[in-house]
A and B are shown apart, each in its own frame.
Chain A
């Protein structure tokens, strides 16, 4: 509630370093960031780090429980599945598909969303009205349903899933970028800039973007958490990645029949999914809070 600062000294740090200080103060968000970096590294290097190949079968070690269990084997830290494949190696490789592909999908969504959202934001009147109402309609179709329809057209498969998710996520992100741009364009400093005779491109690249790119990162984290959940949900429904692929959702669906005798084959992929979404949300939330805190000071 205090609206005055104790010391009259001015803080001349750059906005980015102030953001980082605010972000750092939130320990949960920092943990999320580390988890996020770890998962991203895992997604890139999983085939090198994994102790076994994803399809390597150990016929003498079927359905071994994790190694801390009495019947477990330390060679298979997280146990094996019904075909004698090492669960740990499969989970590590799953990061590449679920997490890596989600990052790509979210990046593409954000880039296309920024381009189209900006176009929607700088147009006014009839043109923007039409665009907005078209977007509203696509918002009315639930995103998973839209993805399913796109898959019905393209056919199931991992890459088609990525396209479907990008297309299904786009409308809401175009919308939020548009709102950001419109909000920024209505501010006085842009008006002053315009009076100075700045061109449209100048206003956008010198005025608007430097002030909204942090918000775009927040939008990216939102897109990423939805993308992870959607890729996994489609894999779980057997519409995305097909079984030998180690996508986490598909692994969960594949092992569903083992839920009685080998609950760890169902629990662990879900736990990793949960952790990766949690890490993304922690980073996104932390960033949003840090942005708000910077604005308040």
Chain B
């Protein structure tokens, strides 16, 4: 196990290194002045730009520049946003939790709905529950996320007026940011406004979470179904059936544990897709998260912000994947013994 952990850790370091190298390279690829792309300072005076050149080691070779870049990353000096004039790092720490919160609830919803749905479809393989759920997942799988969001807005916000259309919480409530996770903040404050702020935040969360959860739910349902069907084909299940166990016992006690192992890995792989979808969802619901900020940064050609956002989001995805991988190998001893260099 220790050997395995070390191998994973070195892989993590390698991936973070390559990611930082990629981000560093982007400064050269983006249009505009190299120094501006690095620092986010525009219209600098001569002495200022001299100072920046020294700080960013622009006149030395690329490796030294990269070293300086890494040092700044670790210090938390991620440059200054071109559009707001504030540091990119402060933006990221403020905005990333909002996105993570949304993604987390969506993922929880996907797991709660998707996995049981997958189990049901495999238990009733080729019978009507399977057909209905499979058709529904295919529909959910194909629906463009922004269209779904607009349809829900048309029906539930404009039509019935049940849910608010944008933002995280009503303007009436003032919740000081501690962790930037809105529900957590409200909880830490001890449910102010007689609990109404909490209810309001939940109302704001409802539609974005449903929209965001649609895709991962369908993926998890299909994946659980396939994995269950694979396991149910195996010989030990036939043995169990021959021993006279009923279907409930076979599925819940014997098949489920083995079938859920690949699903855990799949949950980890969902993060990257989730962030992609969250970016679109945030734009539509004006959710103040990192996705909307990144898209705004593109409109404003805010290159330091794009870099910072890329770095934060990708680092999060890498860590999440690694965590899912570790959980998977903790539960599944077979996967630990795979030979080196094989994927």
Verify if B19 is at the interface (C-beta below 8 Å from A): yes
A141 close to B341 (CB less than 8 A): no
A134 cross-chain contacts in B, Cβ below 8 A: 18
Cβ-defined contact, B276 with A137, below 8 A: no
Contacts of B143 in A (CB 8 A): 274, 277
Q: Is the CB of A136 within 8 A of B31?
A: no
Closest residue on chain B to residue A273 by CB atoms: B144
Q: Are B142 and A285 in contact (CB under 8 A)?
A: no
In chain A, positions 266-297 with a C-beta closer than 8 Å to chain B are 266-267, 270-271, 273-274, 277-278, 280-282, 285
Contacts of B31 in A (CB 8 A): 153, 155
Asked if A143 and B272 sit within 8 Å, CB to CB, the answer is yes
Least CB distance from B275 to A in Å reads 4
Report yes or no: A274 in contact with B142, Cβ–Cβ below 8 A: yes
Docked CA distance A277–B147 (Å): 13
Closest-CB distance, B124 to chain A (whole angstroms) = 15
Do A145 and B154 touch across chains, with their CB atoms under 8 A apart? no
Q: How far is the CA of A142 from the CA of B99 in the complex (A)?
A: 14
B251 on interface, CB distance cutoff 8 Å = no
A281 and chain B: residue at smallest CB distance:
B142
Which of the 9-residue segments B85-93, B166-174, B306-314 touches chain A?
B306-314
The digit string for A128-170, where 1 denotes a CB below 8 A from any CB of B, is 1100111011011111110011011101000000000000000
CA distance A225 to B144 in the complex (A): 10
Chain A residues within an 8 Å CB radius of B19: 137, 140-141
Q: Are A137 and B146 in contact (CB under 8 A)?
A: no
B295 within 8 A of partner (CB):
yes
**A10-18, A106-114, A230-238 - the one binding chain B:** A230-238
Provide the bound-state CA to CA distance between A28 and B138, in Å: 11
Q: Is A212 an interface residue (CB 8 A)?
A: no
Asked if B188 is an interface residue, CB under 8 A from chain A, the answer is no
Whether the pair A237, B295 counts as a contact (CB closer than 8 A) is yes
Contact A140–B280 (Cβ < 8 Å) = no
> Which single member of B144, B150, B154 contacts A233 (CB below 8 Å)?
B144
**Cα–Cα, bound, A132→B340 (Å):** 12
B60 → chain A closest CB, angstroms: 25
Taking the complex as formed, is B96 at the interface, i.e. its CB lies under 8 A from any CB of chain A? no
Q: Return chain A residues, CB-CB under 8 Å to B138.
A: 278, 281-282, 285
Contact A145 B318 (CB under 8 A): no
Contact A129 B144 (CB under 8 A): no
Chain B residues near A141: list those with CB within 8 A.
19, 272, 310, 313-314, 317
A-side contacts of B283, CB under 8 Å: 237
Within the complex, what minimum Cβ distance (angstroms) separates A259 from chain B? 7
Given contacts A126-B341, A142-B313, A153-B29, 19 further A-B contacts (CB under 8 A): A136-B15, A136-B343, A137-B18, A137-B22, A140-B272, A141-B19, A141-B317, A143-B273, A145-B279, A148-B298, A149-B306, A225-B142, A233-B145, A236-B280, A237-B295, A252-B150, A266-B154, A274-B142, A280-B142
- A-B contacts, 18 listed (Cβ < 8 Å): A134-B18, A140-B314, A141-B314, A143-B276, A144-B279, A148-B294, A153-B31, A232-B146, A233-B280, A236-B146, A239-B298, A252-B146, A252-B150, A259-B153, A263-B154, A270-B144, A270-B151, A285-B138
- Sorted nearest first, the 9 A-B pairs with minimum C-beta distance are A270-B147, A129-B341, A144-B276, A278-B142, A142-B276, A277-B142, A142-B275, A140-B317, A140-B318
